Structure 1
């Protein structure tokens, strides 16, 4: 049973965040600097309040004719984001992402943000795991 914890053990728990009062422009700078597709939005106490994605920017700033320097993250973020725990099975994560049309899942444990996984993280894990199984089967057959 592969879980989110398996991915976090490889990827680590580093999560890039932005604040609700930051400008969209500031958040975009972090996305570009770190080559990310999303930032977790936290309040003053560090609690998860939303997620800011490139999709939010495209649909809620550019297409609406807003200014990224004048618009705040809280005005366009996806609030109450879907999240998972470290013990959530990867198959469930894939179903959730597909059904909700999302690419990123914050990871919460004991009411604390402990990670962020993307569909890319899941695919990389699944592919590497399949390659490992194939190599072991080939080794078994040859032996």
Structure 2
């Protein structure tokens, strides 16, 4: 199984500034088809801003997305994945934290983001490969061969 750093290494990393408006951040997320952005200040991860934050902390409170800046509504209790962590470890972290996105760090450096959807797609791809392998194995056994092996 790949480490998380291998999963995010070839992907673009989009980030937002704490001073960015919610409207601009939401537009960036929509344009890049992402559900969350890490919030970075002076090369330091200071929060994460997600679609859920837009709904629960901006729209539901009646705030104006044009006038509201991210640092006022971002999630600051950040759960991160270390670059050498496994898929299973990240899924467990997401489950415990009730979150769908994890910033991926190597030491103090932000290197990417991974989503629950990313991890589930990897799991599905691996299961499909295993199924294809098993099907090819099953269909290449000559007729009667399984019976012969059983009798021996």
The TM-score, its normalising length taken from structure 1, stands at 0.90
**In the alignment, which residue of structure 2 is the partner of 1:25?**
23
Give how far 1:75 is off. Answer: 0.4
Which structure 2 segments of 5+ residues have no match?
A: 141-152
3-state SS of 1:78 partner: coil
**In the alignment, which residue of structure 2 is the partner of 1:70?**
67
Task: Give yes or no for contact 2:17–2:70 (8 Å, CA) kept in 1.
Answer: yes
Which structure 1 segments of 5+ residues have no match?
A: none
Give how far 1:137 is off. Answer: 1.8
Is residue 3 of structure 2 the alignment partner of residue 3 of structure 1?
A: yes
The TM-score, its normalising length taken from structure 2, stands at 0.85
Task: Give yes or no for contact 1:106–1:113 (8 Å, CA) kept in 2.
Answer: yes
RMSD after superposition: 1.5
In structure 1, distance between residues paired with 2:45 and 2:11 = 15
Is residue 80 of structure 2 the alignment partner of residue 83 of structure 1?
A: yes
3-state SS of 1:106 partner: strand
Is residue 86 of structure 2 the alignment partner of residue 101 of structure 1?
A: no
Match of 1:119 among 112, 116, 120: 116
**In the alignment, which residue of structure 2 is the partner of 1:37?**
35
